Amino acid sequence: MKDAWDFARLDEFLVAWEPLTPWGKDIKAAREVLVERAEIEARHDDIDAALALLAALETDPVSLDRLSWHLRRMPRVPVDARDSYDMLELFQIKKFLANHRGVASIANAGGGAGRFGLTPACVALAAELDRGGSDAETFFLADAFHPGLAAVRSALSRVDAELRAVRAAAESRARHSAGLDFDGRDFLVVPAAALSAPIAAQAGLSLEPYDDAQLLVRMLPGAAELRLAAERESLLAREAVLEGEALARLSVLAREAMPELRAAVAAVARFDLARAGAALALKLGLTRPRLDSDAMTIEGARFVPVESDCGRLGLSYRPLDARFDAAAVVLFGSNMGGKTVALQTVLFLQLLAQAGLFVPARVFRTKVYARIAYVGELAGERLAGLSGFGFEIIRFERTWKDREGSLVAFDEFARTTGSHEAEALLSAIVGAYAEGAGGRAFFATHFRGIARVEGAAYLRMKGLDRNAASDALDSGAPLEERLAGINRHMRYELVDDDAAPEAGSDALAIAELLGLDPGIAARAGERFRSGQPGVLGDQD
């Protein structure tokens, strides 16, 4: 469904959809499109529940902020049962459980914990990991995790203190006997003439050549320091053994808690998606789609990426209203008339609904499709000539082989070949879909010679209000202003197409409004109305 996703510009819209946990972000990145109605309805039910929770917490902004904070702090945790877990993994589990408690507490206060399964999780493990006394953002193997650790670490502290004292005495001797201040450094580099061997020996220092003019000076360890260093190494080894035993015991508890931990992670991920979906619905005025109708009904649908484009350019945008009953729907219209945007709107709404999200429409009623596909040119592509036509055919063939229960949009299919061949091919494909060979297919095209077949619907974009545009436009205005004026008088509405010859051409009208020579415009208009082949009317 990648081509359909890209054609519908979903990623641009979903920038505003912000799951906060690692698992929610994974689902967003996966461009997940669901095909089971029960699963989709469950996602929609979750968003409804999250909307109710957010409404209940509306007067408590602190809790709302804390809810987001806890979700953002969720770390990835190991959820596979194994013999041992390292310190970092145990810290991740501790941090997750602490933030899980925070989310569950706030959700419970708003009445939403039961819906998402945000009940207390891994209580015994959480209590044990908290026993060390550190906060939720840190973890170390404290003395409380093993009965022998306190004694070993106390002995280490004593040895370290004695080593510091021995070292301080050695540094003091070096200062008084040799005039050298080590100040905690392991060695010094001094001029060779500054220190004689007898003085170095008296101060307990070793000398090594550094270069031709300098010496490397170190303090020689005495018997007391060597004894303490050996004792320290022995204590560290003992500490490592005891810490290993503590980790092994905690690992047993973690392994036993893994089923419960996995369920807690799933509950948090589910709640995160629902909260993000609810926040998106509130931010952009989205409504719940209905998935109970073979016919597709659309009222007040906004294709948000194009709506945003129009806003930036100061152009008008009209939401889409439509109802589609037929298995094959053909949309005619001029190249500026909005038929591609109509296709994009259909796929945009359907993909959002099957991603488990609400949609920007007053009403969107549809059914679940097993596959959503697009056949046509994508942004950045340049389909031209034989290679472009071949690419379109390959895309179509992939779609046709997997057509059962599918929703397919064809945008200007076969436009890179001749009009006669294109009309024949499109007529055959429209007929095949109209016979029920697939799910539902939409065709946007400027070819008017497509055969009318039973079971297909033929619509057109209402197009340019030529009289209003002609009256409103100043022929001397800059090009950008005239283009904007033309846009304001385009009627982006779907109406039935009765196959009668068109009274006029939007393309010719636009060309004339943009300054086409009146004589050429008149001759083109005559040929268009006559229906002679090879004239602009065949291309519009």
Phi and psi dihedrals of 521, rounded to 5? -60, -40
Question: How is 128-187 classified by DSSP, letter by letter?
Answer: HHHTT---TT-----GGG-TTHHHHHHHHHHHHHHHHHHHHHHHHHHHHHH----TT-SE
pLDDT for 533 beyond 80: no
CA 467 to CA 503: how far, in whole Å? Answer: 13
296-496 CATH pick, 3.40.190.10, 3.30.1490.100, 3.50.50.60, 3.40.50.300: 3.40.50.300
Q: b/e string for 332-359 if b means 16 or more Cβ within 10 A?
A: bbbebbbbbbbbbbbbbbbbbbbbbbbb
The secondary element (H helix, E strand) that includes residue 277 is helix 223-284
How would residue 104 be classed by pLDDT, with cut points 50, 70 and 90?
A: very high
Looking at residue 537, what is its pLDDT?
39
Q: What is the pLDDT of residues 10-59, one digit of tens each?
A: 999 999 999 999 999 999 999 999 999 999 999 999 999 999 999 999 89
Say what angle helices 123-130 and 223-284 make with each other, to 10 degrees.
Answer: 130
504 pLDDT above the threshold of 60: no
Q: Helix, strand, or coil here: 516?
A: coil
Percent of the chain with pLDDT over 90: 61
pLDDT, tens digit, 9 for 90 and up, residues 438-464: 689 999 988 888 889 998 999 987 755
Residue type, position 35, single letter:
V
The fold for domain 16-146+245-284 equals MutS, DNA mismatch repair protein; Chain A, domain 3 (1.10.1420)
* Sequence ranges of the domains in the chain: 16-146+245-284, 165-226, 296-496, 501-540
pLDDT of res. 381: 56
Nearest to residue 440, comparing CAs of 399, 382, 472? 399
Task: Report the C-alpha gap between 188 and 169 in whole angstroms.
Answer: 17
pLDDT band at 539 (very low <50, low <70, confident <90, very high): very low
Q: Are 426 and 391 in contact, with CB atoms under 8 Å apart?
A: no
pLDDT score, position 162: 96
Buried b (16+ CB within 10 A) or exposed e, 266-281: ebbbbbbbbbbbbbbb
pTM: predicted TM-score of the whole model, two decimal places: 0.81
Q: Whose CA is closest to 439, among 509, 334, 382, 354?
A: 354
**Are the C-beta atoms of 43 and 356 separated by less than 8 Å?**
yes
Contacts of 288 (CB under 8 A, 6+ apart): 44, 47, 48, 358
Q: pLDDT digits over 128-180, tens only? A: 998 877 788 888 899 999 999 999 999 999 999 999 999 999 999 999 999 99
Place of tokens 């967003």: 28
When pLDDT is averaged across residues 423-451 and rounded to a whole number, the result is 87
**Whole-angstrom distance, CA of residue 128 vs CA of residue 122:** 10
Burial of 261 (C-beta count, 10 Å sphere; 0-12/13-18/19+):
buried
Residue 496: per-residue pLDDT: 84
pLDDT value for 70? 96
